Amino acid sequence: MQKPGWKIRAVAILALAAFLAAGIGCTARAQATDSLATADDGTLPALSAIAGQGMTNIHAYSELEDLSDDIGGRVTGTPQCNTAIQWALAQMKEIGLQNVHAEPWQLFRGWTRGSAEASIISPAPHPLLVSAVGWTGSTPVGGIDADVVPINVWQVDKELAENSSNWRGKILFTVRKGPPPADGTLALIRFGAEFPKFRAAGALAVIGASRAQGMHLTHTGVIGMGTYSDIPAVSIAAEDEMIIDRLLDSGKTVRVHLDVQNKMTDGPVDTANVVGEIPGAEHPEQVVVVGGHLDSWDLSEGATDDGVGVATTLGAAEAILKSGMKPRRTIRFVLFTGEEQGIFGSRAYVKTHQDEMKNHVAAVILDNGQGPVVTLNMAGHDDLVPAVQSFAATLAAFGKITADDDVELYDDALPFTLAGLPGINLDQDSPDYRYTHHSAVDTFDKVDRAVLDRDATVQALVAFWIADRPERLASPWPAEKSEQMLIQKHDDADVKAMNMWPFGDDGSQN
């Protein structure tokens, strides 16, 4: 039988207090010669106070409920996202953050979902569950009737060379045949980049542009970073996808009716990141960024992607403020928009603050679903892993948390990594996230309050420890060092495919 949530939190607080006060020295004392070890750096009293507030006295769960149920899906540039921006400004002010403001930026185009419906006409009528992929176009009013032809997303170059002459007037149906590539995500990014060639070959639409997980679910998304396609593209439920797959494999001609109606603006749309601060007591010019993304998709409420990150960011701020502890350096809490279209909000932040980036220390981002934080990914800064691992050992009351030098390429940590900083991703154990994200079941009920409060507290502790250490944790790397790190980790191809590679041929930052 599960214990009531307050008992779980009380046990965590008592365990953490005992561990911090009496036991953490096991790891840190063993490294007494390491000036970066937590037990030696004077942050423990503050961390204990913050942990107590985070596990008993924050409002992350109710804030997530408000964001999810009262505002709902928040596609960047839509009225719902603009409402969320005003809500976030009000929440930051109510918590007591300073210098609360919106930082405007523009997204290249705005998009609004309309309707999408489809059905098999022959060989036997069958309704299909589909949802439009973001930033893709519409069919003519009333829809289209067309035969479907398979296109292997693992071998798109071969498909273009050998089969595109058969695409005119057809609907492309994505299949995955043969051994998958070593980097499946990169293959999908490259597939999305070829949509203009699909149009040039006369294809009318694409079915299966994003692959569904779970039973009777579709998933929205974009086909590429900052990309718009005139061709309508839809995600299809796995069960319906398999029906078409079986029919094609048996040699039958499959004819489909597809009607998709979306709206796209002619030019850029206004949006903004939301910012609030706890000023540093000794080095206010040095900044630790803490954040998640405020925008979401619109098939549901965006509770796990990334309402959780919004709630933990606000909860982390509340825990630190209520503890009464003052960090040496400024902690800047940022809720980004435009993440779902290509990590644009965090890119805009780095551009807006480019003259200040030399004074930034790190970014701490949470955007991996509703599960507990288990790993601090240090974005290639392997020199920092031992110190961060020592710190993570002090968090044993929250479960096992480790540190590594992995680079997170697909959330708001990446622009900070490209700027030479440790863009720290708080990696989570979220096995159900593959079902909830970008889908109709991304609702508030999927989030456990005890886990949410735990993650908000961990985010607060990570941020405060970095901000309050006597020694600065990190300074931005030279561009050539960041470039070399990404090449050595074989992440350069992905970043280039995302149109985010910032390094020139001479190793300089563009």
If residue 185 lies in a helix (H) or strand (E), which one and from where to where? helix 184-193
Asked whether the predicted pLDDT for residue 507 surpasses 50, the reply is no
Mean pLDDT in residue range 96-111: 98
Instruction: Note whether 355 and 229 are same-domain residues.
Output: no
Cα angle, residue 232 at apex, residues 228 and 236 outer, rounded to 5° = 115
Integer angstrom CA distances of residue 146 from 139, 149, 198? 12, 10, 15
pLDDT in tens, 162-179: 999 999 999 999 999 999
pLDDT-derived band at 102 (thresholds 50, 70, 90) equals very high
At 210, the pLDDT band (50, 70, 90 cuts) reads confident
For 3-122, list the strands marked E by DSSP.
98-107, 111-122
Tens of pLDDT, residues 308-348: 999 999 999 999 999 999 999 999 999 999 999 999 999 99
Q: State the average pLDDT over residues 119-130.
A: 98
329 with 461, same domain? yes
Please name which of 169, 122, 123, 173 lies closest in space to residue 146, comparing C-alpha atoms. Answer: 169
> Is position 395 within any domain?
yes
Please report whether residue 502 resides in a domain.
no
Predicted pLDDT at 214: 87
- Supply the pLDDT for residue 495: 97
User: What are the residue ranges of helices labelled H in 335-420?
Assistant: 344-352, 385-393, 414-418
Q: What is the pTM of this model?
A: 0.92
Residue 133, pLDDT above cutoff 80: yes
Q: Is the pLDDT of residue 25 over 70?
A: no
Instruction: Name the band, by pLDDT with cuts 50, 70 and 90, for residue 35.
Output: very low
- Smallest CA-to-CA distance from 319 within 468, 456, 424, 452 is with 456
Tokens of 153: 């997303």
Give the model's confidence band at 506: pLDDT under 50 very low, under 70 low, under 90 confident, else very high: very low
What DSSP designation does 124 have? S
What's the longest Cα–Cα distance across the chain?
Answer: 74
Whether the per-residue pLDDT at 24 is higher than 70: the answer is: no
Same domain, 29 and 99: yes
Give residue 38's pLDDT: 62
What CATH number is attached to the domain comprising 323?
A: 3.40.630.10
Q: State the residue for tokens 């749309």.
A: 269
> Contact, 165 vs 131, CB < 8 A?
no
Mean pLDDT of the chain: 92
326 inside domain: yes
Q: Are 213 and 235 in contact (CB under 8 A)?
A: no
Q: How many domains does the chain have?
A: 2
**Percentage above 90 pLDDT, the chain:** 86
Q: What is the pLDDT of residue 509?
A: 61
User: Does 498 reside within a domain?
Assistant: no
The structure tokens listed for 68 are: 């999810």
The pLDDT tens digits of the residues spanning 261-311 come to 999 999 999 999 999 999 999 999 999 999 999 999 999 999 999 999 999
Mean pLDDT value of segment 192-199: 96
Residue 473, pLDDT > 80, answer yes
Q: Are residues 179 and 57 in the same domain?
A: no
60 and 137 within one domain: no
Query: Which range of residues forms the domain containing residue 435?
Result: 5-108+269-477
Are the C-beta atoms of 317 and 368 separated by less than 8 Å? no
Identify the band that residue 185 occupies on the pLDDT scale cut at 50, 70 and 90: confident
Reduced to 3 states (helix: H, G, I; strand: E, B; else coil), residue 323 is helix
Cβ neighbour number for residue 87 with a 10 Å cutoff = 20
Q: Is the pLDDT of residue 127 over 90?
A: yes
What is the rounded distance in angstroms from the CA atom of residue 498 to the CA atom of residue 411? Answer: 12
- The string of pLDDT tens digits covering residues 213-267 is 889 999 999 998 888 999 999 999 999 999 999 999 999 999 999 999 999 999 9
Burial level of 318, CB count in 10 A (0-12/13-18/19+)? Answer: buried
**End residue of a domain, out of 264, 285, 320:** 264
Strands ordered across the beta sheet of 111-122 = 126-128, 111-122, 255-264, 144-152, 171-175, 205-211, 233-236, 130-132
CATH number at residue 241: 3.50.30.30
Residue 32 has pLDDT above 60, yes or no: no
pLDDT digits (tens, 9 = 90+) for 140-168: 999 999 999 999 999 999 999 999 999 99
In a domain, 496, yes or no: no
317 and 435 in a common domain:
yes
Q: Which two tokens stand for residue 304?
A: 């796990």
Find residue 134's DSSP bridge partners.
Answer: 222
Q: Are 320 and 458 in contact (CB under 8 A)?
A: no
Cβ partners under 8 Å of residue 383, min gap 6: none
Residue 471 shares a structural domain with residue 380: yes
Q: State how far the Cα of 170 lies from the Cα of 203, in Å rounded to an integer.
A: 5
Enumerate the H helices of 57-141 as residue ranges: 60-65, 79-95
Q: Is the pLDDT of residue 26 over 70?
A: no
**How deeply is 270 buried, as exposed, middle or buried, from its count of CB atoms within 10 A (0-12, 13-18, 19+)?**
exposed
Residue 497 domain flag: no
Residues 76 and 127 in one domain: no
Same domain? For 176 and 317 the reply is: no
Q: What b-and-e string marks burial along 210-225, b requiring 16 or more CB atoms within 10 Å of the CB?
A: bbbbeeebbbbbbbbb
Judge whether 225 lies within some domain. Answer: yes
Measure the CA–CA gap between 154 and 181, rounded to whole angstroms: 7
Q: Which pLDDT value is given to residue 9?
A: 38
Q: Would residue 482 count as lying in a domain?
A: no
**In angstroms, rounded to a whole number, what is the distance separating the alpha carbons of residues 458 and 38?**
15
Task: Identify the domain boundary among 205, 240, 264.
Answer: 264
Rg from Cα positions in the chain = 24
pLDDT at 30 over 80: no
> pLDDT value at position 505?
62
pLDDT at 209: 74
Task: Tell whether the model's pLDDT for residue 510 goes beyond 60.
Answer: no
State the average pLDDT over residues 182-196. Answer: 91
Scan for tokens 């096995």, then name that residue: 431
pLDDT at 5: 35
